[in-house]
């Protein structure tokens, strides 16, 4: 088994969802620290931008198994069949009340955030087993353990990722492969902008009983700048990512931002009825 303290320059890390936000920040930060970074995006225009900035970049569409297989094959060809780390990050957040959510929208959410991540992870594991070590890091969310209204599709997908990751961590005990979950709260990215596009694509806001709430949501998402005083930059997530990649004993979970920490404590201490009152008041 190769020593997990191998110099960073000998560690190849594959990151999904690098067109902006957390993925882009992570790719640049790891590259600056000497990791061999493979940054991926689902649009060719974004891949070209990543390459122009000096990153090794590949096309990877998480909804396309062929794209996943090809991207990983290209990575392994460049690394002599080795891969130290995988950071599953790519995706979007589908808004809308559960009763307004078409099944096609829920399926699209899971295709990216659950099935795509699962397929890539499943293909990576044999590589890490063969080399005797590896790090799999899943970028979950506070919504992966604290469900909030009008975010049912995203809640469900992140809850699913948490369950799959916990199971995988148990199944990989003793293999030298560590599985960690990062749980960000509000982070300054293009996530709201992308979520607004998906909301308009699938939700009939004007004819919903939730129309008044939706109008407030649309106004909030359309605003420029950060909406919460608790919002942190994507580098806060990267700090946890680096610990998960480099520490000899990485944590099972890393919580990022004050709201995530507060809700984790509240869920552990409060009865469901009290927690429901708090979560129901969030817009």
HSE, side-chain direction, 13 A CA sphere, residue 19: 17
* Cβ atoms within 10 Å of 121's Cβ, excluding its own: 18
Strands 12-15 and 85-88, bridge-based pairing: parallel
Set 84, 154, 202, 254: catalytic member? 154
Q: CA 271 to CA 283: how far, in whole Å? A: 21
Q: CA 53 to CA 190: how far, in whole Å? A: 19
Strands 253-256 and 85-88, bridge-based pairing: unpaired
Q: CA 144 to CA 161: how far, in whole Å? A: 8
| Whether 154 is catalytic | yes
Note whether 100 and 203 are within 8 A (CB). yes
Residues tagged active-site? 154
């Amino acid at each position: 088994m190769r020593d997990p303290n191998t110099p960073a320059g000998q560690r190849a890390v594959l990151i999904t969802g690098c067109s902006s936000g957390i993925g882009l920040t992570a790719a640049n930060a790891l590259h600056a620290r000497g990791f061999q970074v493979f940054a991926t995006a689902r649009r060719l225009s974004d891949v070209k931008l990543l390459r122009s900035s000096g990153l090794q970049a590949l096309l990877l569409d998480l909804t396309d198994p062929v794209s996943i297989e090809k991207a990983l094959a290209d990575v392994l060809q460049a690394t002599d069949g080795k891969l130290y780390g995988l950071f599953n990050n790519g995706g979007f957040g589908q808004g809308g009340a559960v009763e307004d959510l078409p099944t096609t929208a829920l399926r699209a959410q899971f295709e990216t955030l659950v099935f795509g991540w699962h397929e890539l992870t499943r293909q990576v594991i044999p590589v890490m087993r063969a080399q005797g070590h590896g790090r799999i890091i899943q970028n979950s969310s506070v919504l992966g353990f604290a469900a909030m209204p009008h975010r049912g599709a995203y809640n469900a997908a992140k809850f699913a990722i948490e369950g799959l990751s916990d199971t995988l961590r148990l199944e990989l005990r003793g293999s030298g492969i560590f599985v960690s979950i990062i749980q960000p709260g509000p982070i300054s990215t293009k996530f709201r902008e992308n979520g607004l596009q998906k909301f308009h694509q699938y939700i009939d806001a004007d004819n919903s009983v939730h129309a008044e709430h939706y109008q407030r949501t649309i106004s909030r998402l359309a605003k420029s700048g950060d909406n919460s005083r608790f919002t942190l930059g994507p580098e806060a997530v990267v700090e946890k990512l680096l610990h998960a990649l480099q520490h000899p004993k990485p944590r099972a979970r890393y919580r990022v931002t004050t709201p995530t920490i507060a809700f984790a404590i509240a869920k552990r201490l409060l009865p469901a009825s009290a927690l429901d009152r708090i979560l129901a008041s969030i817009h």
